[in-house]
Amino acid sequence: MPTLTLLQAVNDGLKTVMRNDPTVLVFGEDVGPKGGVFLATEGLTEEFGVERCFDTPLSEDGIVGAAIGMAMNGLRPVAEIQFQDFIYPAFDQIVSEAAKLRYRSGGQYTAPMVIRTPYGGGIRGGLYHSQSGESYFAHTAGLKVVIPSTPHDAKGLLIASIEDPDPVIFMEPKALYRTLKGEVPEGSYTVELSTLREARAGKDVTVFCYGAMVTVAEKAAEQAATGGIEVAVVDLRTLLPLDEEGVLDAAKRTGRVVVLHEAPRFCGYGAEISALIAEHAIEYMEAPVVRVTGFDTPFPNTLEHNYMPDDRRVLDAIEHVYNF
């Protein structure tokens, strides 16, 4: 079984599904011969031709609008938005058109399309190349929001997203693109959407996280173990639709919960996890749910290392709920 980076796993997933399904097209800014700004689409134009992997004008609303039209007419488009920070010109197309298509047509039409986009900090990209906007899309019925944290899941979740009958926002943690490696099966396989992954087992505290924060949580859990605290790390993988039953089961097992994400705290995705536990599992809790997040400011450049949650902040939260 080959060992790939997360970026290579995305590329392998695209090639695999394009070989198996001629209706899959890939397009976006610089994704063609150049292979994209991160090289996620490297080699696709060479193998599949410009009809199936091609560059577009610098127009995010045009990219997504074209994808919707293709999806309505029998194709399975995979549109890349070069950085998640640039997705907002296409916001209306995503939340008012793609997400509503099945409902407004009474099921006559669907939008089987994927919007791939790298998100988050960790590469010193500054405020216009480091944002985490997952909560905007998780608030929209009709969309699916998927975030992998391992090379294995990146490929399997991407193939599952492309095969799904509804629009999927597939957000890739760019901080992990080349820093994380793992075994990835050859050929086609899927990881079921809306399922959790227990990245680490533990009986004392549960940390819910996703994307680049999974590795941060695992590092904090290792440090907590030296002090006798066994921490379970749960990778959410799909934010919408969320595996609510899985979240509640994991929370009940320990009675102590930390929620971790790099997006700002106010109205961040962690608030939904906290509310879900408060509404349905409060009698199992031994301590209040604690959130470890980014701050309610624009993403800084020189202070990136202070803004993004690290293992020290997560360990403090783990010890707080454990000793409450």
Six-digit token string for 166: 């509804």
Catalytic residue among 129, 261, 280, 320: 129
Is residue 129 part of the annotated active site? The answer reads yes
Half-sphere exposure of 129 (CA within 13 A, CB side): 11
Domain 197-322, CATH number (from 3.40.50.10860, 3.90.1150.10, 3.40.50.920, 1.10.3720.10): 3.40.50.920
Can you say whether the dihedral through the CA atoms of 50, 53, 55, 59 is positive or negative?
positive
- As beta bridge partners, residue 3 has 183
The domain defined by 3-183 carries CATH number 3.40.50.970: yes
Phi, psi dihedral angles at 192 (to 5 degrees): -60, 130
Alpha helices in 35-150 (DSSP H): 44-48, 60-72, 91-92, 101-104, 134-138
Give the residue extent of every domain in the chain. Answer: 3-183, 197-322
**The residue to which tokens 């399309």 are assigned:** 113
Each residue's pLDDT tens digit in the chain (324 positions)?
A: 899 999 999 999 999 999 999 999 999 999 999 999 999 999 999 999 999 999 999 999 999 999 999 999 999 999 999 999 999 999 999 999 999 999 999 999 999 999 999 999 999 888 999 999 999 999 999 999 999 999 999 999 999 999 999 999 999 999 999 999 999 999 999 999 999 999 999 999 999 999 999 999 999 999 999 999 999 999 999 999 999 999 999 999 999 999 999 999 999 999 999 999 999 999 999 999 999 999 999 999 889 999 999 999 999 999 999 999
The reply to whether domains 3-183 and 197-322 share a CATH topology is yes
Cut 0.95: pTM above it = yes
